[in-house]
């Protein structure tokens, strides 16, 4: 969320944490905190997660494990850098991404801007076999947006409950409909299957290779900032 809220950043904003409390034997908290502080001193800008010796751009960070120290992963984007014994080494692609963040976030004429409003009228919805079409009627009457976790590369069932029609009704009613995938990697492509091609013609927002978390937060932010998206 902060990746969208904090605009024209002139410095890095770094999140970290730990899998074990800082006072516990063998805790990862001390190393993670030290790594985060060192990375926060870098001459870059943008929002990052530093965890288990790697730096991840905020919009692609995902927690994939509940107990292991390597709990966070950079999904559909290379790690920005590794941190080991206070030494930061940027990956080849990570250095390019960091430079791009600098270009996009450098102080402009307006300087730093915090646009912190979020529209909470957004429903995350996981597609599943046999889903009842009435849920889309409920969304139309109660929410401004929905982020749908589709099957695979962007599959939405159209052989029962007339899901395509329901989604068209949502967009026609002014509800923002975004499509992502239940798969962690490689994103979606609505052009592959006929049902996806139909959805693309209905004003559906294609989340491409964004993570589900980033898709939901970006839609919540966008709906708070703009009347039409």
Q: Which residues contact 173 (CB under 8 A, 6 or more apart)?
A: 140
- Answer for the pair 58, 3: CB distance below 8 angstroms, yes or no: yes
Least confident interval from 6-20, 72-86, 193-207: 193-207
Positive or negative: CA dihedral 24, 80, 89, 43: negative
Report phi then psi at 166, rounded to 5.
-60, -40
Quick one: average pLDDT of 69-94? 95
Please give the average per-residue pLDDT across 174-186, as a whole number: 95
Is pTM beyond 0.75? Reply is: yes
pLDDT value, residue 161: 64
Residues contacting residue 166 through CB under 8 Å, at least 6 positions apart:
133, 136, 137
Q: How many CA within 13 A on the CB side of residue 37?
A: 8
Predicted local distance difference test score (pLDDT) of residue 109? 52
* Contact partners, residue 21, CB within 8 Å, separation at least 6: 27, 29
Q: Are 13 and 48 in contact (CB under 8 A)?
A: yes
98-123 confidence digits (pLDDT tens): 877 777 766 555 688 999 999 999 99
């Amino acid at each position: 969320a902060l990746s969208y809220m904090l605009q024209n950043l002139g410095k890095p904003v770094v999140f970290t944490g730990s899998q074990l409390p800082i006072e516990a034997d063998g805790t990862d908290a001390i190393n993670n905190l030290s790594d985060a502080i060192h990375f926060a001193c870098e001459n870059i800008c943008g929002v990052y997660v530093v965890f288990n010796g790697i730096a991840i751009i905020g919009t692609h960070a995902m927690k994939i494990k509940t107990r292991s120290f390597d709990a966070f992963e950079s999904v559909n984007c290379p790690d920005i850098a590794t941190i080991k014994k206070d030494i930061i080494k940027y990956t080849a692609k990570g250095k390019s991404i960091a430079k791009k963040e600098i270009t996009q976030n450098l102080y402009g004429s307006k300087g730093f801007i915090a646009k912190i409003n979020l529209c909470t009228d957004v429903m995350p919805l996981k597609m599943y076999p046999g889903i009842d079409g009435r849920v889309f009627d409920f969304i139309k009457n109660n929410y401004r947006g929905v982020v749908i976790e589709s099957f695979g590369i962007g599959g939405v069932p159209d052989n029962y409950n007339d899901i395509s029609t329901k989604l068209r009704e949502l967009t026609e009613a002014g509800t923002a409909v975004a499509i992502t995938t239940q798969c962690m990697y490689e994103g979606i492509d609505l052009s592959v299957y006929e049902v996806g091609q139909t959805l693309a013609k209905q004003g559906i927002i294609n989340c491409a290779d964004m993570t589900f978390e980033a898709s939901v937060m970006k839609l919540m932010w966008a709906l708070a900032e703009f009347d039409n998206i």
